[in-house]
Amino acid sequence: MEQPQNEVTAKLTVPQTATGTRPGSQPRPQAGATVFDLDKVSVYYGAFRAVTEVSMNIHENEITAFIGPSGCGKTTVLRSLNRMNDLIPGARVEGKIRYRGAGLYDVQASPTAVRRRIGMVFQKANPFPKSIYDNIAYGPRINGIRSKSRLDEIVETSLRHAALWDEVKDRLGKSGLGLSGGQAQRLCIARTLAVEPDVVLMDEPCSALDPIATGRIEDLMQEIKSRYTIVIVTHNMQQATRVSDRTAFFSVLRNEQPGRSDTRTGVLVEYDRTVNIFDNPRDERTQAYVTGRMG
């Protein structure tokens, strides 16, 4: 049932003929297979429609950035991609989200099975109050891996991938809560990688970090990109230009309908290659946002 769809048209993108090359970067390869296919996705919290009719395709082995002002629904869309919104009472998704061809919200789809494939890193680092080792081994243990040697191996490779191994290899038995902010966030990334997900969702992973720690995490994203598909929500537009291949700009739409209590909703304004979004946006709202005239 997991048939990779090879059509690369994103519904809101312009034809990809003019793929820009950013100064100093390699010419971009052809877009990979479609990992997520969102078709008119609306997300509700109770009666409030937080996001309205988002349609987009997210591609394999790319970093896709969601940008936009506060309240535009970018985190909501991100959380709907691994069904984290299910945990919020009253949250509901309309429209179709397909993950590699399979309906993410089909009745047979189990949220836990979804989340094992699609991991998430949160805005605030949330290491468990366990040892560093147990933090990483948590996910694999859930998946039934008991062998000590296998777990040792996973812990080491995950920490190496997250560029944290050298800093913590001598204190794997110490609490994960004793790490600095940047280290804790990398621990959470390592913890996510330990279950070998297909996709890593990141919700403003660097918003609480200093520029050096941010730089390390951005480097890390570039390194792991070849093996994972990454979607990142960021408030930092420089970060979006630095790390992402494609950028989706969300904005708040004021609803003019009279007699309705919810007068605003998030919409996807423009989705394109990052270089186009920032250098040559097609929508004036995008233009206003990326040049700092709004938001």
Chain residues in the site for another protein (CB under 8 A) = 82, 84, 87, 89, 111-116, 119-120, 122, 124, 126-131, 134, 138-139, 142-143, 175-178, 188, 191-192, 195
Least distance in Å: CB of 143 to another protein?
7
Least distance in Å: CB of 147 to another protein?
18
Helix segments in the chain, DSSP class H? 74-80, 111-117, 132-142, 148-161, 165-168, 181-193, 211-224, 237-243, 274-279, 284-290
Is 176 within 8 Å of 135 (Cβ atoms)?
A: yes
Least distance in Å: CB of 187 to another protein?
11
CB nearer to another protein: pick between 186 and 273: 186
The Cα–Cα gap between 128 and 207 comes to 20
Least distance in Å: CB of 124 to another protein?
6
Task: Return the structure tokens found at 106.
Answer: 């089909």
Least distance in Å: CB of 195 to another protein?
6
CB nearer to another protein: pick between 187 and 220: 187
161: left (phi over 0), alpha (psi -120 to 50) or beta: alpha
CB nearer to another protein: pick between 203 and 270: 203
3-state secondary structure (DSSP) of residue 54:
strand
Going from the C-alpha of 140 to that of each of 6, 143, 147, 148, 222, the distances in angstroms are: 31, 5, 10, 11, 24
CB nearer to another protein: pick between 182 and 281: 182
CB nearer to another protein: pick between 31 and 121: 121
